[in-house]
């Protein structure tokens, strides 16, 4: 039996896929991810249970565009002992307690000297902030401001048991071939320790999207899924795949897909790329609240894909955008912020985007002089039914705009008729011999 994306959407098991993705997030949450190291490898290992990811290891010191692959960091444990000898802060309680990429240290010091290495949020006194020092060697601890305020004077002992050595940067990649060499790029970051929405939601949705598209019988496009540490990972991928970028026709950076917020789409730098129009249409057709925003050169890895030397048609589809929720980059971005139904809604929305991309072809009206007689060909329903008026209008719109220069996306945008109805009408007209598909590969 032929499986299509439309079929996957019709059969979509929201509860089942939501709980599957949530279970993945629960298992990956405790892992100590960073730009490099075993936490990333273990996380990609969990994804490999669903998807045969190819794992790439790029050695420390490798030049990548204007950057260099950093040393590999692995944390064993970090703690602060108070003047009484009791452990006050311990990375075993929460990965966020240690400043990411902290260099190894073990020393005794005064509270005053320790303060220079502590990070807390006065305005959110009960949370542990997420801080890193990737490109400047430093060590430090992150803790709730309320705890910080209770620290007594006296002699403290700190210990960061970690390695920061020559190693490699790890990323995962999965390629799904289609009829065309043109590719759809899906990218998500894999470098945040114990943050659920800002990290695990993207990994969950993109890995399940890849698995779902893998079951589809025919794909017009090829698909490439990359799971990379933020910034340096996408820069590394771009440096190693410059030839591939020429084949990227559409792309999305996925993040923040498990919270309760409405969808937000950040357009590609190009601003009017097909992906920009397709995502906008899918969100419009959803009937729910959503936001569409112009490109800005900050946020997630779209910054790299949309740098001027690449300028790829890559946007970013999130729920609440980068940095705009109170729990962002704190210990409150935990498994309670993410819910299975929101993860499932995100996966569904991504599938809807892919359905439109796959179905957006151009056709040529083979009977362009006057309207062809549809009733004679059985294309007008003799008796009206639910939606039949819309189907008839869709036939007329498709015939009218199928002049070789307009796509089915143009038809849906201009007519306001749902894309799926437009696509179904085009299929009926193709079957009746009134249209010819202009976008190779031809119908097989
Ligand atoms: Zn982040």
Pairing of the two strands 168-176 and 314-318: unpaired
Residue 385's pLDDT band (boundaries 50, 70, 90)? low
The per-residue pLDDT for range 166-197, each reduced to its tens digit, is 999 999 999 999 999 999 999 999 999 999 99
pLDDT of residue 387 exceeding 80, the answer is: no
- 36 C-alpha vs ligand 1 centroid, how far in Å? 15
- 192 C-alpha vs ligand 1 centroid, how far in Å? 7
pLDDT confidence of residue 442 = 41
- 323 C-alpha vs ligand 1 centroid, how far in Å? 8
The two tokens of residue 369 are: 């002089």
pLDDT of residue 444 exceeding 80, the answer is: no
**Whole-angstrom Cα distance, residue 347 to residue 223?**
16
pLDDT confidence of residue 283 = 98
- 159 C-alpha vs ligand 1 centroid, how far in Å? 26
Q: Are 398 and 423 in contact (CB under 8 A)?
A: no
Distances (CA, A) of 107 to 54, 79, 84, 159: 41, 11, 16, 7
The per-residue pLDDT for range 307-365, each reduced to its tens digit, is 999 999 999 999 999 999 999 999 999 999 999 999 999 999 999 999 999 999 999 99
The per-residue pLDDT for range 273-293, each reduced to its tens digit, is 999 999 999 999 999 999 999
394-399: long-range contacts, CB 8 A cutoff, minimum separation 24? 394/421, 394/422, 394/424, 394/425, 395/425, 395/428, 395/429, 396/371, 397/422, 397/425, 398/363, 398/422, 398/425, 398/426, 398/429, 398/435, 399/365, 399/367, 399/371, 399/372, 399/429, 399/434, 399/435
The per-residue pLDDT for range 18-43, each reduced to its tens digit, is 999 999 999 999 999 999 999 999 99
Please tell me the least confidently modeled range out of 142-151, 381-390, 405-414. Answer: 381-390
Global pTM? Answer: 0.96
Count other C-beta atoms under 10 Å from residue 71's C-beta. Answer: 20
- 86 C-alpha vs ligand 1 centroid, how far in Å? 32
- 230 C-alpha vs ligand 1 centroid, how far in Å? 8
DSSP E strands, 321-416: 362-365, 403-407
The per-residue pLDDT for range 221-268, each reduced to its tens digit, is 999 999 999 999 999 999 999 999 999 999 999 999 999 999 999 999
pLDDT confidence of residue 386 = 61
Q: Are 180 and 222 in contact (CB under 8 A)?
A: yes
- 353 C-alpha vs ligand 1 centroid, how far in Å? 24
pLDDT confidence of residue 157 = 98
- 423 C-alpha vs ligand 1 centroid, how far in Å? 38
Residue 427's pLDDT band (boundaries 50, 70, 90)? very high
Comparing C-alpha atoms, which of 321, 37, 348 is closest to residue 197?
321
pLDDT of residue 382 exceeding 90, the answer is: no
The per-residue pLDDT for range 133-165, each reduced to its tens digit, is 999 999 999 999 999 999 999 999 999 999 999
pLDDT confidence of residue 443 = 39
**Whole-angstrom Cα distance, residue 104 to residue 249?**
44
- 249 C-alpha vs ligand 1 centroid, how far in Å? 26
Residue range 13-22: average pLDDT?
98
The per-residue pLDDT for range 39-76, each reduced to its tens digit, is 999 999 999 999 999 999 999 999 999 999 999 999 99
- 58 C-alpha vs ligand 1 centroid, how far in Å? 22
Mean pLDDT of the chain: 96
pLDDT confidence of residue 441 = 55
- 189 C-alpha vs ligand 1 centroid, how far in Å? 9
């Amino acid at each position: 039996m032929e499986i299509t994306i439309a079929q996957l959407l019709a059969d979509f098991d929201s509860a089942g896929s939501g709980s599957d993705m949530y279970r993945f997030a629960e298992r990956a949450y405790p892992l100590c991810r960073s730009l490099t190291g075993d936490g990333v490898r273990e996380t990609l290992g969990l994804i490999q249970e669903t998807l045969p990811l190819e794992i790439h290891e790029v050695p420390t010191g490798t030049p990548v565009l204007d950057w260099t692959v950093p040393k590999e960091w692995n944390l064993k444990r970090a703690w602060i002992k108070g003047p009484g000898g009791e452990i006050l802060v311990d990375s075993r309680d929460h990965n966020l307690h240690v400043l990411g990429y902290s260099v190894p240290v073990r020393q005794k010091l005064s509270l005053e000297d320790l303060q220079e290495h502590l990070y807390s949020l006065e305005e959110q006194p009960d949370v542990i902030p997420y801080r890193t020092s990737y490109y400047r060697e430093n060590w430090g601890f992150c803790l709730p401001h309320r705890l910080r305020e209770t620290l007594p004077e006296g002699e403290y002992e700190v210990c960061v048991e970690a390695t920061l050595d020559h190693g490699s940067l790890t990323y995962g990649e999965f390629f799904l071939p289609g009829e065309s060499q043109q590719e759809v790029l899906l990218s998500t970051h894999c470098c945040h320790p114990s943050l659920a929405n800002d990290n695990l939601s993207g990994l969950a949705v993109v890995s399940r999207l890849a698995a779902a598209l893998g079951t589809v019988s025919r794909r017009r496009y090829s698909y490439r899924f990359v799971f990379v540490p933020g910034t340096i990972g996408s820069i590394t991928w771009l440096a190693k795949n410059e030839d591939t970028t020429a084949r990227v026709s559409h792309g999305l950076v996925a993040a923040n897909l498990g919270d309760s917020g409405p969808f937000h789409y950040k357009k590609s730098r190009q601003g009017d790329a097909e992906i920009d129009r397709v995502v906008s249409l899918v969100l419009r057709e959803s009937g729910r609240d959503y936001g569409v925003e112009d490109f800005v050169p900050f946020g997630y890895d779209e910054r790299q894909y949309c740098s001027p030397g690449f300028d790829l048609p890559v946007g970013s589809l999130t729920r609440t955008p980068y940095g705009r929720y109170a729990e962002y980059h704190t210990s409150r971005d935990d498994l309670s912020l993410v819910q299975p139904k929101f993860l499932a809604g995100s996966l569904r929305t991504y599938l809807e985007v892919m359905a439109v991309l796959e179905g957006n072809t151009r056709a040529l009206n083979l009977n362009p002089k006057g309207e062809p007689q549809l009733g004679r060909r059985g294309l007008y329903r003799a008796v009206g039914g639910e939606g039949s008026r819309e189907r008839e209008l869709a036939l007329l719109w498709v015939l009218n705009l199928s002049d070789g220069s307009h796509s089915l996306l143009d038809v849906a945008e201009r007519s306001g008729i749902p894309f799926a109805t437009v696509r179904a009408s085009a299929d009926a007209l193709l079957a009746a011999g009134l249209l010819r598909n202009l976008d190779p590969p031809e119908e097989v």
